[in-house]
Amino acid sequence: MSSDAIPNVGGRDIAQILEPQGPPRQHIPGFDPEYADIVDYILRCTHRIWEQKDVGLIATHYGSDIVVHMMTGPTLGMEGVIAGTARTLSAFPDRTLTGEAVIWSDEGEGSYLSSHRITSSATNLGASELGPATGKRITFTTIADCLCKANLIIEEWLVRDYSHMALQLGYHPRAVARLHAEADKAKGQGRADWRQTNMQAILDAPRSNWTDRAIPDAASEPDAFAAAIFDQIIAHRRFGRVREVYSPAARWSGPGGRQLFGWGEITGWYTAIIGSFGDARINVDHIAHVPAAGGALDIAVRWSLTGTHDGVALYGPATGERIYILGVTHWRVVEGRIAEEVTVFDEVALMRQMEGGL
């Protein structure tokens, strides 16, 4: 089934999304018949679990041996997903989730990868991993990449803008990270094996050769377009190529609630990443793309980066610590150029690494 035939979020009201969808729009073998397609599955079960507080539904929608990958380390098993969901709801019991995009791909053999971007609004009425309850109402962005098969999410990569959450709650992200790192070291858990393994995998991946070829066309080669941007701008430090692939009026949203506009500021972000981690190496781990309204294209890229914190550009005095980032980037491409970008990764976990934790 072509992705053109499957409606995305597209500004639809949640009431419209939750209406019965009629006959299936997509053959998704093994999924409950109430789900018309993979987008409907993601939106509907997310709403039921989080907003309707039917947390027990996780037992029928997550694999018993699921691995959830986060920058604080993997969570193993469906029971861990239930416990984590309950902890989040205890801290933010009125959390409401607005789905902004579901960018998906058919992975073959009845499996699908969904990159689901959500903006949440919530009041902090209970203690959270960031600190005691503050009573403050905040908004924050989460992206969940979920591998789905036969009505189950069997693997997930979860990124959330924790530094923006901390700032809105009145906490300094670095102070929160320092407390967590001290606890890690007290437990003998600094520089965990899982992180070392992930960093080494990035270092072991082959590097591309230098090239001055044009960036592939987004409409005809969306995967190659996305891969080339990360390869050229980050891996090969070709910062000037921002002008080739971004609209001059592009809007960029990133961790910590950062908002950037246009070629100059977006180029500044890329130079700041390398200015913070001078030997940075990056892998593109997954790409998905779906059509968007008005002939636009939505692309989701999950990526991982490792490097040494040897510069002051973003995170203060260099610590010399080797770091790992798990990130997801969503692009809206209009007439061949990126018009909007949302990039999410956990800066609190990143700073925790810089403090000798994780």
pLDDT mean over 157-177: 98
Both 343 and 278 in one domain: the answer is: yes
Model confidence at 295: pLDDT above 60? yes
Residue whose entry in the numeric block shows the structure tokens 């902090």: 124
Domain-terminating residue out of 136, 160, 184: 160
Both 214 and 323 in one domain: the answer is: yes
CATH classification of the domain holding 288: 3.10.450.50
- Could you tell me the pTM of the whole model? 0.96
Amino acid type, 161: D
Both 14 and 133 in one domain: the answer is: yes
Give me the DSSP letters along 28-91.
-TTS-TT--SHHHHHHHHHIIIIIS--GGGHHHHEEEEEEEE-TT--EESHHHHHHHHHHHHHH
The backbone torsions φ and ψ at residue 75, rounded to the nearest 5 degrees and listed phi first, read -105, 130
Both 156 and 197 in one domain: the answer is: no
Contacts of 313-319 with C-beta under 8 Å, sequence gap 24+, read 313/271, 313/272, 313/273, 313/274, 313/275, 313/276, 314/272, 314/273, 314/275, 314/276, 315/174, 315/276, 315/350, 315/351, 315/354, 316/174, 319/354, 319/355
Model confidence at 1: pLDDT above 60? no
Local structure of 244: helix, strand or coil: helix
In-domain check, residue 184? no
Domain of 307 in residue numbering reads as 193-354
Domain-terminating residue out of 101, 136, 160: 160
In-domain check, residue 186? no
Both 199 and 313 in one domain: the answer is: yes
- Read off the DSSP letter of residue 146: E
In-domain check, residue 183? no
- Read off the DSSP letter of residue 293: G
Both 226 and 105 in one domain: the answer is: no
**Cβ atoms of 91 and 125 closer than 8 Å:** yes
Both 88 and 218 in one domain: the answer is: no
In-domain check, residue 349? yes
pLDDT of 21 reads: 82
How many whole angstroms separate alpha carbon 218 and alpha carbon 332? 11
Q: How confident is the model at residue 22 (pLDDT cuts 50, 70, 90)?
A: confident
Q: Cβ–Cβ contacts within 10 Å for residue 28, how many? A: 24
Q: How confident is the model at residue 329 (pLDDT cuts 50, 70, 90)?
A: very high
In-domain check, residue 177? no
Local structure of 319: helix, strand or coil: coil
Both 19 and 105 in one domain: the answer is: yes
pLDDT mean over 176-190: 90
Both 146 and 228 in one domain: the answer is: no
Both 260 and 325 in one domain: the answer is: yes
pLDDT of 188 reads: 81
Report the percent of the chain where pLDDT is more than 70. 98
In-domain check, residue 172? no
Tens of pLDDT along 256-287?
Answer: 999 999 999 999 999 999 999 999 999 999 99
Both 102 and 33 in one domain: the answer is: yes
In-domain check, residue 187? no
How many whole angstroms separate alpha carbon 349 and alpha carbon 192? 13
Model confidence at 4: pLDDT above 80? no
Both 37 and 108 in one domain: the answer is: yes
How many whole angstroms separate alpha carbon 36 and alpha carbon 22? 7
Q: Quick one: how far is CA 57 from the chain centroid?
A: 23
In-domain check, residue 322? yes
Number of domains in the chain: 2
Q: How confident is the model at residue 11 (pLDDT cuts 50, 70, 90)?
A: confident
How many whole angstroms separate alpha carbon 77 and alpha carbon 64? 5
**Cβ atoms of 152 and 63 closer than 8 Å:** yes
